[in-house]
Structure 1
Amino acid sequence: MPVRLYVGNLPKEPIERQALQEMFAEAGDSITTKVIKDRKTGKCRGFAFVTVPTDEAADEFIEKYNGQPFMDSPIRVEKALPRSKGKGKEDGDQPQSSSEEGATTTVPAPAPTPKAKKSGGGGAKKRGRSQGGGGDQRNNESFQPDPRWAGELAKLKEMLAAQTSNS
């Protein structure tokens, strides 16, 4: 089964697919590359995708090319995360990922929250809310995580703590 790899840290200038394919020529003819470009400018968006035939080939490819210089920048190669369903984004949007010694985890985007209707009126109401206990309640709410993402937030905090203790 083909494996899709994310190639990041590419320069944000015009890059042709052939230039990237030439860099990966040693990997064989069985790989395909796709440079993700900005629709308006035609310049590279800073990443591309490479498809290799097997998991073993993917691991070898990552080991061989991760950190190799391409146009004066070291590229980052890792397994691409599957696209999220229902987002309706174009093919090739950059996956949101965090990499810790080869382990890739998904960082979910926060869900949109419904906006409350603003009541008509002058600044007196706003001033009244900011004085006294009303302002304290609003400040406390900003520090409370959304319960839908609290579990993911805890995981991220653990990963960050592990990362800082390793440094």
Structure 2
Amino acid sequence: MSVRLYIGNLPKEEIDRQELQAVFAEEGEAVTTKLIKDRKTGKCRGFGFLTVNDDEHADQIIEKYNGRTFKDTAIKLEKALPRTKGEENEDQQQPQQAVPKPVTTSNAGNPVPNTEGKSSRRDKSSKKPRRGGGGSRETSSSNTNDSDAVRPDPRWASELEKLKEMLAAQATN
């Protein structure tokens, strides 16, 4: 089974793979190198990888070459971590399904989306007045402005009506 080793602290200049391979030449054909370069500039990004046949040989190479100078810098060798491509953003890659969110009603009877456990960008109480608003603004919940009310999605209007009726029935009990 092959083992990948991380080669760090490489000089950030134009380096050929053959130059790096020459450092490990005495290890023979069993060792292959891969130099990671910037796509735009073609210069080394400061690291690369070394592939070795087995774990025992990998440990010997780390012991032998770790700290050795290459183009006036001491290289760093260690076992590479396994790839984790795609694991970090799994939930972003899955398609989002249109699922209605639970809706509650405010004191004014307007539907308000349930944000329990979620932080919102800004609270209604922290809203800044718009430019050219002119005059003071009433904050009473019974006198809410239509522009501030949350409008339900028309696709879910019938479901929302059912929920309102159910909530009204619960409130009277």
Partner SS for 1:78: strand
| One-letter identity of the residue aligned with 1:121 | K
* Bigger radius of gyration: 2
Determine the structure 1 residue equivalent to 2:71: 71
**1-side partners of 2:88 and 2:18: how far apart?**
29
**Where do residues 41-60 of structure 1 align in structure 2 (5 Å cutoff)?**
41-60=41-60
**2-side partners of 1:78 and 1:15: how far apart?**
21
Distance 1:117 1:79, change over 3 A: same
Determine the structure 2 residue equivalent to 1:32: 32
- Per-residue CA distance 1:113-149 (angstroms, 9 max, x = gap): x8732467339xxxxxxxxxxxxxxxxxxxxxxxxxx
Determine the structure 2 residue equivalent to 1:20: 20
**Where do residues 1-167 of structure 1 align in structure 2 (5 Å cutoff)?**
1-87=1-87, 116-118=120-122, 121-122=127-128
Show structure 2 runs of 5+ residues with no match. 90-117, 130-173
**TM-score, length-normalised on structure 1?**
0.54
- Per-residue CA distance 1:26-75 (angstroms, 9 max, x = gap): 11111110000111111111000000001111011001100000000000
Partner SS for 1:77: strand
Instruction: Say what the alpha-carbon RMSD is for the aligned residues.
Output: 2.2
How far 1:84 moved relative to its partner? 1.2
**2-side partners of 1:86 and 1:25: how far apart?**
35
Distance 1:88 1:40, change over 3 A: farther
| One-letter identity of the residue aligned with 2:34 | K
Distance 1:37 1:117, change over 3 A: same
**1-side partners of 2:30 and 2:119: how far apart?**
50
Paired residues, what number? 99
| Percent of residue pairs bearing the same amino acid type | 60
Distance 1:117 1:13, change over 3 A: same
Distance 1:30 1:43, change over 3 A: same
**TM-score, length-normalised on structure 2?**
0.52
Distance 1:115 1:5, change over 3 A: farther
Determine the structure 2 residue equivalent to 1:99: none
How far 1:83 moved relative to its partner? 1.0
